[in-house]
Structure 1
């Protein structure tokens, strides 16, 4: 079994106390927002089954969601909608969502563990971890909170736009979604600058 706390332990040995994991979801979706989460776990925190949200079933993510919320010292969420994504591009929107999540933590972390690459324009020290959601408990927990938050949002969007099946694919470019786009054209929550939407 993977040691999901090794990055956190290593950084605590260097003197960092409040360590926040940061991750985002929805970057590759054709519709809806990008959602980021920043999250601080206590040092002695055990969450069985914690792993990258993409590798967990929706049922398992929903089971872990309240457990993570109970155990976390602080959770911040950041969201950037489809119009803003179209206006500034998805990379900048992802960074903005992450910055918003960090600012909504309610406390300033000593260090950020970020999935993938560092966030530009953030003054807090950062450690970027490639595939961090598989290697860091803090990032994995942030990934689950962000994923469940966004999935629930897309289920609500399905109620307003049932013809697209957002409750199934959550806005990603599945065959069913592309067919619905060709049949109905884009909805108001589709990202107009994305190639899968410009059909």
Structure 2
């Protein structure tokens, strides 16, 4: 049998090689072939680990699905700490066959991966919704209560009524049974999906605000108090999206 070229070996391993094909490659003594084979097995091991971790993040959902709780909403928020912009919450109901293994806590993902997963989640989810508490509401009722309202709004905006809520580190006013999960975005795939949706949605919003209010670097800092943001405050003052009850705005720019 004619031996495959290294290019052909790469193409074979990039597809779905059979056990027989893998055994044939293992018997090929060429260094290039063995290097490609080792790389293949390493990637397979990484994928297996990723799938195992993903399965753990679906444990709570599967337990509830087995109890005939079909519609479980994961809820998470982003934007509690910035000096400007709203706090954004997302609620996501996943299908029972959800298999996007890369869905994890949004903070663990690159911007490119978040954007990619955001579109895929919107495509496959049973329902997705957003809740927003703007800076004025944050100033009126405080960031904690504003976050709870944004989360409640996200749940109420779902096109499918959830039967159970999994919420990251919060509780909301709702008659729907709910679980408050500390670091929930690392424990629940539904919350992780919500964290991605909320993060990408708010990032897009802050990029828009960067064009509307140039000079604060909102597209890069998302409203957090970075050096460039503070420099913008110093030279330009506050904008209509700044949180007036947050420091240093409260003591330095409010008279």
Q: TM-score range by the shorter chain?
A: over 0.9
* Paired residue secondary structure (2:244): coil
Aligned pair partner of 1:22 in 52, 75, 99 = 75
Match among 242, 249, 252 for residue 190 of structure 1: 242
Which of 34, 51, 54 is equivalent to 2:107? 54
Matches within 5 A, 1:27-106: 27-106=80-159
Contact 2:80/2:87 (CA < 8 Å) preserved in 1? Answer: yes
Q: Which moved more, 1:141-150 or 1:182-191?
A: 182-191
Is the contact between residue 126 and residue 160 of structure 2 (CA under 8 Å) also seen in structure 1? Answer: no
Partners of 2:133 and 2:113 lie apart in 1 by 26
1:161 aligns with 2:210: no
Deviation for aligned residue 1:57: 1.2
Runs of 4+ in 1 over 3 A off after TM superposition: none
Which position in structure 1 is the counterpart of 2:198?
146
Residue from 54, 57, 76 that aligns with 1:4 = 57
- The alignment status of 1:132 with 2:148, answered yes or no, reads no
Deviation at 1:197, TM superposition (A): 2.1
Q: CA RMSD in A?
A: 1.1
Measured in 2, the distance between the counterparts of 1:57 and 1:178 equals 25
TM-score by length of 2: 0.75
* Contact kept? 2:79, 2:88, Cα under 8 Å: yes
Give the Å deviation of 1:82.
0.7
Q: Distance in 2 between matches of 1:32 and 1:160?
A: 12
SS in 2 for 1:94: helix
Unpaired stretches in structure 1, ≥5 consecutive residues: none
Distance in 1 (alpha carbons) for counterparts of 2:62 and 2:101: 18
Equivalent-residue separation in structure 1 for 2:238 and 2:95 (angstroms): 43
Larger of the two Rg values belongs to structure: 2
Q: Relative contact order: is structure 1 or structure 2 higher (C-alpha 8 Å, sep ≥ 6)?
A: 1
The one-character-per-residue Cα deviations of 1:125-156 (angstroms, maximum 9, x if unpaired) are: 00111101111110000111111111000000
Task: Select 1:170's aligned residue among 213, 219, 222.
Answer: 222
- Indicate the structure with greater helix content: 2
**Aligned to 1:32, what secondary structure does the other structure show?**
coil
Q: Tell me the SS of whatever aligns to 1:162.
A: coil
Contact 1:173 1:196 in 2 (8 A): no
TM-score of the aligned structures, taking structure 1 as reference length: 0.95
State the Cα deviation string for residues 21-78 of structure 1 (Å, max 9, x = none): 0001111111011111111000111013111111211111111111000110001111
Q: Distance in 2 between matches of 1:79 and 1:160?
A: 19
Distance in 2 (CA, whole Å) between partners of 1:81 and 1:163 is 21
In the aligned structure 2, how far is the partner of 1:70 from the partner of 1:123?
A: 28
Give the number of aligned pairs: 198
**C-alpha deviation, 1:184, in angstroms:** 1.9
Q: Which runs of 5+ in 2 are unaligned?
A: 1-49
